[in-house]
Amino acid sequence: QQQVKQSPQSLIVQKGGISIINCAYENTAFDYFPWYQQFPGKGPALLIAIRPDVSEKKEGRFTISFNKSAKQFSLHIMDSQPGDSATYFCAASVQGGKLIFGQGTELSVKP
């Protein structure tokens, strides 16, 4: 019940396209859902996060869509760029410090 399932494992998108990564969870006690971006040799960096009382949050080219009833949330990257090529992780937590991560999606944006 503590799992967060992420798909797809890998994704190839053309420059300018939309990248979509999906996550699903079971634990309804989760109250915070962040997305992290990780480049090789670096630690994960927070991209955007959402609370379950909000259905969508947008920051620049990044949007989280949240469906509480389906227990799913997704990351949309609009106008994807080669510099967005990285591994993306969704995560969830209950009251703070312990993040449960999805398995990660390796995104490649082709020029």
Q: Would you tell me which residues interact with another protein (CB under 8 A)? A: 31-32, 34, 36, 41-46, 49, 51, 89, 91, 93, 95-104
The residues, any chain, with a CB within 8 Å of residue 76's CB and separated by 6 or more, are 18, 19, 20, 62, 63, 64, 65
Minimum distance from residue 111 beta carbon to another protein (Å):
27
Closest to another protein by CB, 18 vs 46, is 46
57 within 8 A of 37, measured Cβ to Cβ: no
Minimum distance from residue 14 beta carbon to another protein (Å):
27
Closest to another protein by CB, 17 vs 94, is 94
Q: How many CB atoms lie within 10 A of CB 54?
A: 11
ω into residue 52 within 30 of 0, thus cis?
no
Minimum distance from residue 66 beta carbon to another protein (Å):
14
